[in-house]
Structure 1
Amino acid sequence: MSGGDDVTSSGQTDRRRAGDDAQVIVVGAGPAGATMAAYLARAGVDVLMLEKSTFPREKVCGDGLTPRGVKQLIDLGIDTSEEAGWLHNKGLRVLGGGVTMELDWPQLATFPPYGVVRPRQDFDQLLADHAVRAGARMLQNTTVTGAVVEDRTGRVTGVRAKTGPERTQVAYRAPLVIACDGVSARLALSVGIDKRDDRPMGVAVRRYYRSPRTNDDYLESHLELWDRSDPGEPRLLPGYGWLFPVGDGTVNAGLGILSTSKAYGRTDYRALMKTWLAGTPEEWGFREENAVGKIQGAALPMGFNRTPHYQAGLLLVGDAGGMVNPFNGEGIAYAMESAKLAADCVIHALARPTAASREQALRHYPVAVRQALGGYYRMGGIFSKLIGNPLVMRVATRYGMPIEPLMRRFVLKLLAGLYDPKDGDVMDRLITTATRLTPSA
């Protein structure tokens, strides 16, 4: 990050070296990358965003955002109104232990009182286009294969990539590189940052179905997933099934399983989903003849399962840094939230006059995400281990679900990360205190 200093039209100091392609390279144009690029571009930083696919493109996801995700969209300046194409929902319908309960999103100062659904095929392009309008440059069909590391200093000074229809091998250089390349984490792996085995992982599968439930006012979560592959010994799995209305005539149906179960990696998840959906009422439409596309799956990196989040010119953001919530498998909100924190550190670093001072600002990023989410994620890790025990899962579902005040005032807030840390009610204060007392290492 040394070299000649010029000042851009916005007043942002440009510290790139001769031959650099940008001040900052962002790898990946999903929610983390597009959010990062938008905030940097607004601050006058010259950002080059590299996306391996070509928009529009699909992603395996539930397509639903809780109010925590909606807040990030609003902060970014995205119109989240229904007129702008977002399907709003009132809350979460939970089924388990023979109980069905509709839990409205809590009324909070920190988060809006509604969630939204929008297919990732449309959602990701909307965010990427937003970043481009803010001033970011984007190259599509460009697959980053690894980091360029300076021999003398060990710093990441760019990336290697294959681009275009001919898959031409190229290198792009910049003083800072932001890894928003998802669960594959190719950049992190290329510099020796491996996955942590002491943190939970998840796997999710989903499929779209034509269904009359396409305009439901609630996201729906089924807490009892039974593996009946062995008829003599059905197993209750740690995870949940979801039915998220999309509003276009279809419903996104899927399920997620945690690595804390003995069944993780040993279960045919696609068969499990078909078995689960076969048990739903036929009039809902979740049958093979109403299916749209294939069942697709993806891994969910949870609870900061890849660290350090900053190392020698490389920042890990979103799924690349294991930012998925261990409580509920939500990733988009936390990808955008970590991108906002990272962008703030990068903007301040680029404004500083010395290399030592810039490095100090960059090293604050892992501190910032740890302060924001570390204790909460560690609690989520403990939760995931507990429900990995079928007995604990069965007791929690059978005896916890019927207690509506507990579910409405505490469990929903905890699992969805929806609480006011400063001016909330007694349950908010309880969750806030617990996250502060829980070690975040």
Structure 2
Amino acid sequence: MHDVIVVGAGPAGSSAACHLARAGLDVLVLEKTSFPREKICGDGLTPRAVRELQRLDIDLTGPGWFRTEGVRLIGAGRTLELPWPSGHGLTRTRTDLDELLARQAVSAGAALLENTKVTAPLRSRGRVTGVRTTTGTHSARLVIAADGASSRLSVALGLRPRRDRPIGIAGRRYYRSPRHDDAYLEIWLGLAPAGYGWIFGMGDGTCNVGVALLRTEHPDYHRILARWLTSLPPAWSLSDDHAVGPLRGAALPMGFSRRPHYLPGLLLAGDSGGMVNPSSGEGIAYSLEAGRIAAEVITTAFHGPFPERTLQTYPAAVRRANGAPFTLGRAFTRAIDDPRIMRLATRQGLSHPTLMRFALTLFGGMPPSPVPTPSDRLAAALTRLTPRS
């Protein structure tokens, strides 16, 4: 009998496991594959994600990290560079990052079983009491489903994605490119309705290049990426001849697309709970944060007089953290699904740096300034007034 079983050793699962183990709880992490393993992602870490990594005491000074200083937005014939107003960003391949996070959880005291696929939940009297795996059964006081967008554990409990929440898709490929040491995360707007392209330097001779389509029902990211890359300067070397590995795609479960985030005995964290920002497709920061929030709620519950009542506060805690930008993001991506609105938003936004910074702050993609500006204060006020759904 463990205190907590964490299903999935991605950012959400490893974050929760690390914080829980440091709090003195008996934690078992079950990972269906083995490390190192590949994960389809843009590999960009915003200052928000960096702060969560610092909370986990991850060494951010060693090899493998590449520091970024801001975002460069390109569209409608315009270019706008927005430095991070506080902190800094990073890039690192998910092949490295996920293993690093899992090993950090183990160092904190969590147990990790790799190549262990969860096949079904264990239940007793309406409560999740553990999981069945390909190698046996494991019991726990609580289970955290951090098993990604498909979240078979959640599906087995009847929790399927909500039809009123967007499910996007992203495709990415690595290229050997002279742009590998660009310190700005480059975003190309207007490649498709509610879609964008990215070029993120990895600092190791390669760039992570891809497209994210935030609302299209059946997007053809292969065609969109190919058309975009042929329009770029040949000197950037973003062609098949310089590719490292194939083009791969993954789903983006956005805007709390699977709920509720708590059932008796089970919490959802990260992609399993649809914790991807609908306006940007960013997920790592929100997954790391959700893992920490889950750990804080669980630790409080285990040490308090009313554990079940405390556990039931987890969904509200997640909504307080991200409900407002997710609500705004859903509305925004619905609007820019119209190509005319997408073109207007791109043209106007890139012509007005203050307006664009305000929008990015409002939608959760830009940290506020250390000394809040009027637009920061306005964004904060609107965020407080926005329903957290």
Q: Quote the Cα distance in structure 2 between the aligned partners of 1:159 and 1:122.
A: 28
Question: Within 5 A, what are the aligned runs for 1:205-244?
Answer: 205-225=171-191, 236-244=192-200
**2:388 is matched with which residue?**
440
More off after superposition, 287-296 vs 412-421: 412-421
The answer on 1:162 being equivalent to 2:162 is: no
Unaligned runs of 5+ in 2: none
- Measured against aligned partners, the alpha-carbon deviations of 1:55-109 in whole angstroms (never above 9, x if no partner) come to 000000000111111111011111223x4431001101110010012110113xx
SS of aligned partner of 1:159: strand
**1:30 is matched with which residue?**
10
**TM-score, length basis structure 1:** 0.86
- Measured against aligned partners, the alpha-carbon deviations of 1:32-77 in whole angstroms (never above 9, x if no partner) come to 0110000000011000000011000000000011111111101111
Question: Within 5 A, what are the aligned runs for 1:319-334?
Answer: 319-334=271-286
Find 1:127's aligned residue among 101, 123, 141. 101
**2:78 is matched with which residue?**
99
**1:317 is matched with which residue?**
269
Matched positions, count: 389
**1:141 is matched with which residue?**
115
Q: Is the 8 A contact 2:5 2:30 kept in 1?
A: yes
- Measured against aligned partners, the alpha-carbon deviations of 1:316-346 in whole angstroms (never above 9, x if no partner) come to 0011111001111110000010111110010
**1:185 is matched with which residue?**
151
Q: Is the 8 A contact 1:214 1:245 kept in 2?
A: yes
Question: Within 5 A, what are the aligned runs for 1:228-377?
Answer: 236-259=192-215, 261=216, 264-265=217-218, 267-353=219-305, 357-377=306-326
- Measured against aligned partners, the alpha-carbon deviations of 1:155-183 in whole angstroms (never above 9, x if no partner) come to 000111114xxxxxx21111100000010
The answer on 1:58 being equivalent to 2:38 is: yes
Identity %: 51
**TM-score, length basis structure 2:** 0.97
Q: Is the 8 A contact 1:147 1:156 kept in 2?
A: yes
SS of aligned partner of 1:23: strand
SS of aligned partner of 1:241: strand
Q: Quote the Cα distance in structure 1 between the aligned partners of 2:376 and 2:153.
A: 38
Q: Quote the Cα distance in structure 1 between the aligned partners of 2:171 and 2:119.
A: 26
Q: Is the 8 A contact 2:71 2:83 kept in 1?
A: yes
Alpha-carbon distance, 1:149 to partner: 1.2
Q: Is the 8 A contact 1:421 1:429 kept in 2?
A: no
Q: Is the 8 A contact 2:361 2:368 kept in 1?
A: no
SS of aligned partner of 1:182: coil
Q: Quote the Cα distance in structure 1 between the aligned partners of 2:273 and 2:92.
A: 24
Alpha-carbon distance, 1:422 to partner: 10
Instruction: Check 1:419–1:67 CA distance in 2 against 1; reply closer, same or farther (3 A cut).
Output: closer
Structure whose alpha-carbon radius of gyration is higher: 1
Q: Is the 8 A contact 2:255 2:276 kept in 1?
A: yes
Letter in 2 for 1:365: Y
Q: Quote the Cα distance in structure 1 between the aligned partners of 2:298 and 2:364.
A: 28
Alpha-carbon distance, 1:420 to partner: 4.3
Instruction: Check 1:105–1:125 CA distance in 2 against 1; reply closer, same or farther (3 A cut).
Output: same
SS of aligned partner of 2:272: helix
Letter in 1 for 2:303: A
Find 1:389's aligned residue among 338, 343, 348. 338
Find 1:425's aligned residue among 367, 373, 377. 373
**2:64 is matched with which residue?**
85
Letter in 1 for 2:128: V
SS of aligned partner of 1:272: helix
Alpha-carbon distance, 1:352 to partner: 2.7
Q: Is the 8 A contact 1:160 1:172 kept in 2?
A: yes
Alpha-carbon distance, 1:237 to partner: 2.1
Find 2:170's aligned residue among 204, 207, 220. 204
Q: Quote the Cα distance in structure 2 between the aligned partners of 1:162 and 1:132.
A: 22
Alpha-carbon distance, 1:423 to partner: 6.5
Q: Is the 8 A contact 1:24 1:175 kept in 2?
A: yes
Unaligned runs of 5+ in 1: 1-19, 164-169, 226-235
SS of aligned partner of 1:253: strand
SS of aligned partner of 1:305: coil
Q: Quote the Cα distance in structure 1 between the aligned partners of 2:332 and 2:120.
A: 35
Instruction: Check 1:367–1:322 CA distance in 2 against 1; reply closer, same or farther (3 A cut).
Output: same
**2:51 is matched with which residue?**
71
Alpha-carbon distance, 1:433 to partner: 1.4
Instruction: Check 1:268–1:279 CA distance in 2 against 1; reply closer, same or farther (3 A cut).
Output: same
Alpha-carbon distance, 1:349 to partner: 1.1
